Amino acid sequence: DAETGALDTRLAYQSSDELMMHEDSVLCLATSDDGAVLATGCKDGGIKVWDLAAGTCLRRFPGAHVGGVSSLSFTRDGTQLLSAGSDSVARIHGLRSGKTIKEFRGHASFVHVAAFAVDGGQVVTGSADGTARVWSMATSDCVATLTPPQSSATASAPIIALAVLRRRSDEVLLLPRGPSVFLMTFAGAVVREIRSPGGTMTAMAPSPRSALVHVLTDDRQLRCFDLESGEEASAAAAASEGDVLGLAQHPRRNRIATFGSACGVRLWSARAAAAAHHGASASSAGA
């Protein structure tokens, strides 16, 4: 439950402690826009698509990648699934046909993350080779290569996260491993650098209206930045011990989830960050 954090036992398979499972470790997941379908990517390169209400497997894509599946994303209509993997390739899979229908090749190393552009006509990928690429959905050709500015500390740093912004259809947030996240156009121009006042950024997620970006840093801080000014709006301790491994922003609700090796999953209200963004005195509270 996104409000309480409690296991939703209204689902029959969860109330009887049945699980949706792979044969190896699950590395990534994604939900469809309507929240009805879940896709999971496995260390063995396989993908499964699940009915969340019933817990049943709807589609299998065994061997979707050679090596682990690192990223998954649905089209808005839920008919196609974009995957990225350690074989340096991104692919689109048809959920009706059960077949792989597009491939995007050209990165020189692992593809950590892939996302559909807002208009649905392009795909953006981020790789361990230090670049992001924009691809045509129609031709599968690379139409632009984006390279964030590099310093001695971030030279050839892998792109570990990216986010296409719904309110900024021709811009993308790129996070190379380091202290900064970059707002860039699809043409490769840097619009803004957002730099952390402390710690290396390890994960990020923009707010639904694309006004703010939430980031995790390796000093266990959850930080919120204004995308227009680049200024920090708020910060809070995401955990007191262990590694904080990732975060996710609810696509419509005022909720952020963080998860870590020692703290489990924590749910946060983003209202405090928004209040700080508007100049009020507030701090985030964990649930």
Determine which helix (DSSP H) or strand (DSSP E) holds 176, and give its type and residue range. Answer: strand 168-176
Q: For the residues of 187-228, what is the DSSP string, one character each?
A: TS-EEEEEE-SSS-EEEEEE-TTSSEEEEEETTTEEEEEETT
Q: Which helix (H) or strand (E) holds 171?
A: strand 168-176
- Asked if residue 226 is part of any domain, the answer here is yes
> What domain range is 204 assigned to?
196-287
- DSSP helix/strand/coil, 156: coil
What is the CA angle 19-253-224, rounded to 5?
105
Q: What is the DSSP string of 18-63?
A: -----SS-EEEEEE-TTS-EEEEEETTS-EEEEETTTTEEEEEETT
Amino acid at the residue 23: E
* Domain contains 200: yes
Largest distance between two CA atoms of the chain: 54
Chain centre to alpha carbon of residue 87: 19
Name the phi and psi angles at 274, rounded to 5. Answer: -65, -40
CA pair distance 225, 243, nearest whole angstrom: 22
pTM of the model: 0.89
pLDDT for residue 155: 63
Do 173 and 160 contact (CB within 8 A), yes or no?
no
What are the two backbone dihedrals, phi and then psi, of residue 277, each rounded to the nearest 5 degrees? Answer: -60, -35
Q: Is residue 257 part of a domain?
A: yes
Give the residue ranges of the chain where pLDDT is below 70. 151-155, 240, 271-287
Q: What is the pLDDT of residue 285?
A: 35
Looking up residue 202, the CATH number of its domain turns out to be 2.40.10
Exposed (0-12), middle (13-18) or buried (19+): which is 172, by Cβ within 10 Å? buried
**Domain-embedded: residue 19:** no
**Residue 281 domain flag:** yes
* Structural domain includes residue 253: yes
Q: Is 80 in contact with 59 (CB distance < 8 Å)? A: no
Residue-level pLDDT at 63 = 96
Q: Are the CB atoms for 115 and 162 separated by under 8 Å?
A: yes
What is the pLDDT at residue 271?
A: 56
The whole-number pLDDT of residue 273 equals 44
Total domains in the chain come to: 1
Residue 135 bridge partners (DSSP): 123, 142
Residue 38 in any domain: the answer is no
Return the pLDDT at 48: 98
Model pLDDT, residue 152? 57
273 residue type, one letter: A
Q: Do 53 and 41 meet the contact criterion of CB atoms below 8 Å apart?
A: no
pLDDT at 153: 59
CA distance 18 to 13: 5
Q: Please report whether residue 84 resides in a domain.
A: no
- How many CA within 13 A on the CB side of residue 17? 0
